[in-house]
Structure 1
Amino acid sequence: MKPFRESEARLPVSVLCIVALCTSIICTTLGPVPASAQGRIMQVAVIDFANNSKVPGRVYSKMATDAVVVELVRSGKFTAFTSEMVESKMQALGYQPPLTPTLEHRLGQELGADAVVSGEINAIKVDKDKRVAEVRLVVRMLDVASGELINGAIAVGKSHSRVGYGDEDQLLIEAIQDAARNAVDMMVRYILPEATVLNPIGANEVLLNKGSQEGIEPGMEMIVLRRSETGEDEVVGRIKITKVTDTDAVATVIRAPKGVKPEDRARAIFQMPTIKEGVLGEPVRPSELKKGISKGTKLLFALAGLLAVGLIFNGGGNEHESIPGVTAQAGVSGDIITPDYGSDVGVMVSWNKPRNIRTMDIIEYHVWRNNRGTNLGSAGAGTEVPIATPQFTQAPAFAGWDHAITLEPVGISHNEWHAADPDTHELVDVSNDELIPPLEIGKPSQYWVSCLYKRISPRDGTVTYWETSNTGSGVATCLNRPVLRPSFTETSDLSNITFEWESCGGADRYVIEVSRTDSFERDKTWVYTIVQRTAADGIPMSCNLVNKIMDANGVIVKELAGVSEGDVLYWRVGARNSADRPGPFPAGPSPQADGPKNTRYIYSYPESFVVEQPPSPGGTSG
């Protein structure tokens, strides 16, 4: 028997050990994260990939599986169950790969995963003349809550060309890793279109609050989700988009045993892209690849060296780093801000730590309005200096983000901040005594975040300073609260009722909410949407609702069913700019008084009125 070090199986087995070690280290370092700290991070179970190419070998599909796990965890958006946990659960269930979507769904439920990831190597090609390998990788992500695909990618990876270098296995490993990196990058950047149900239209249609600007298209099918009493999302129906404008859409209800209600969420069903055949050409024969199996010594040293360098520089970063998860949301005191300057409103900017920079190496973050000195047309010119320079200790975690700060509509000045000299990479002290233009109420703005950090050379300990690229948020419009103008304290006619309030400058969408509870619980709150642009604060507005809350036959909407004489109803008005992404910080209503909030409006303080005479018997309307 040949010693192992002389065996042709030495290379693939050794490579698998190194890849497994890398995966184990990364998974141990970065996850799993405790549920309370995960926020938007998904926990996934990754099933062993298949090798459906014309170049056989389980070693390649195993490499692809491990490479995808590494890239998912490295993205900062996912944590992964260990392969041992997944395999143990599959054995307990009696499952053997490949699994059908139904079995993947069951496996995810048994593990308690958010999603299940599967895939395969679809094609392999090695160009022996150019010394380049290409791999086409298919990755799918199935949502455990709904049983539907929510993400996926088909990506091609390439190795680096090496003139006169003859190790095909190293080329294939590089191509697999590149394909995994490209696939996960596509998945992280993809945003599955989502919308909120505004109200029903007739018996079998609903109006959604998002349109073509958010990627919603005619013919798209979406599942409808509702937050259950346990706080979990429950699939309650399925709809199909029929009409789309820039800002909203109409959908037909395909099925909904529990009905579709206002404030239900609709999420598109992911469609896997089509594989373009012939892109990789004809793969080489397996016998031609076997010649490189005995040439693995250099590859082992290269992989070991890369692992060592990766561990030394873990968090070291580079000039191409960026800030993930930058989000801007308008809000009011009590939700996002504790006013430092007496303001009741503001904008919260939140972000996550760059994934390849250690916390100890961060000097400070720089927050810019409308990007660094760039003129963005209607949004105005960007600030030439940062509007805020928090250190990581001054920007605490908030609601799933690593860092967050709140900006208020007051002028601010910075006595000193820091920058990295782009040529010498030395730390530069910058003084600024000028007042930074304040946050303007009613004006849409974007916010950009960069990070100033240091790098320490492992060779001689030299310290250099760098700044990441700027990463932008969606639009956020700071709005004042709507002011109610209650013209009544009681009513005897719910079929003809007028609500009055004062406008919010910069808003173009309002909602009137009438509820049986002062906490505006979702199932006990009726919502009516008004689309009307207002250019200034304080403009008198009114809405006369005839046969909306109660029709001419005395049938009352189901959210207010059971109202009797002497009962108190509460009402409020919400405002927002429909261009804001994702919109104001969620402020309710929610299924329960203490449940998660899920609407994106700036709300007035509520008022109430007494029902003087109960609705006549006649049931409720949907």
Structure 2
Amino acid sequence: MRTFLKSKFARATSQSVIASLLVNILVIAFPVSRAEAQFSTTRSQWAVVDFVNKSGVGGDALGGVASDAVTTLLIGSNRADLIEKESVDRVIDELQLSKPITNKLELLRLGQAIGAEVVITGEVQKARINKGANGKSADVVLLVRGIDVASGLSVLGTAEFGQSSERPGDVSDDAVLNEAINFAAQKSVTTIIQQQIGVATVLATPTSKFVKINKGSRDGIKVGMDMVVTRGREQVATIHISDVSTQEAEATVRSSIKGVAPGDKARVLYDKLPEIQLTARGPRTRTVRRGDTTGALLAVLVVGLIALTMNKGQGNSPGEFWTEAALAEDGVSPVVKCSWHPNIFNLGTQNRVEWQVWRTDYADTPVEVVPGSFNSVYDRVAARTRNWRDMGSIVGGPACVEDPGQEAFENPAPGIIPGTTYMYTLSLVYKLSSLDVPGAETGGEITDCFFTTTREPAKGPSTPLDQATLISPPNGATDVNNTVQFSWTAVPGANQYAVEISTSPTFSNANNVRLIATVESILPGSVSTDPIDISGVFPASQRLYWRVGARNSADIPGPVKDILGLRYVQSLPNQFDRVTPPPPPPSN
């Protein structure tokens, strides 16, 4: 079985199944009414090749695990069109290239042959297996690069550290290595998505050593960035950003092949990756304060069987933990709302002590901690310190552990970054009477024994988003025609937008709200609809209000629902008055 799981056929099959499921989920989750206006933008073509494993641990298959994980996450991000793996492999065979491809010239040949703009390649640079008193774990360092086919330079790139949880018992090296790889892959894709500033256009070349481009700080351009300039599919120069305004930037020419001309395209380079060392083992599992973990696996199995039995009668199932992009109580600040069914772990109210919400980009502590009576919490932008029970790996067993008490985080947990996609897990610290713990070692005393559950993953990822800023019609506009082109600023991390109109600035009554357009775009800057005829939208109302919702279509289930039941993070509304219709002709 293990041989099959590592085979190319199994990997290709699993990749196809995952892609098919993602496509079906997106189609079902985000249907578009025929009555809505629909718009889309052309996305770049990417190809992912097998990664190479240079760590000396895990064998060649580990590189394939890494490339498959990155591919799946990129498909879910909806940031580019990925060329099917079968097509990539077929062209590799036709070109008689050996896998994994490590030679840059061969990567460029492949990219040109399949029509890709960017080829994603990578390597498992370092890996190790850790064996400790509490079990086995793994650490990895994953490098991912996006090679621009026109220039051969890295226009995307990141180096990420990944770690697995510490697993007790007879767990295989492959299991913990794969977990660490998946963690590193998620961090890599999150970074790559943030690096997608988009393609800039050269506006002017006052001298042969000085250029202006049409992107600025609002688009993510920063002083000190290097960019490659292309004309068609040919590199003509590299430039260095020297000054940035909100909408434009100035740069000096670092190297020139054919000279820079207005209309040439420029992309940011990410060719210098940090060096990550595997030093001491990172924080992973905490020390058990009392007793030992003998029999922990048996207890987990017993609890699992009880949970399955209870599920049959209550209809509960794994996955009853979900996260949604939202706005905080002020109606402005981005948050991720983490929600769960109280009986997700099939433990009664009196047993629930403390919920711990974990975010996969931060392993030291939970990012939020709330009492056992809660069923939701916001993950916010600000870093925070919470008091929590550090239970380590006490998931069961005959050792009756007393309440360890709450302690403050040693370091503040980092806040969320709007536009970044996150995955969450949920665990519960719970208590049982020693009478309910078979073989509990309490010296004959009846007391409460404290344990923690394993971590339940959320149904899917969540991307906190800033609100769109509305541009046109501007707030307070008058004499607006019934044919309107709506425009707003793009929201980092979003790829779908919805335009709504209402007769009320609160948008609180579904009967007075209409969805008039949806737009798909991953481009920075401004986004707009085509001109839309709104003469039939609330024709009796001269004054109308409009707003724009944003979302990342890869999020599951998506942002918190609005009044129409649609999942978008809504902007503040703008008001406009339509042209006053002429009076009806006099009757005879």
User: Which structure has the larger Rg over C-alpha atoms?
Assistant: 1
Greater length-normalized contact order (CA 8 Å, ≥ 6 residues apart): 2
TM value normalised by structure 2: 0.50
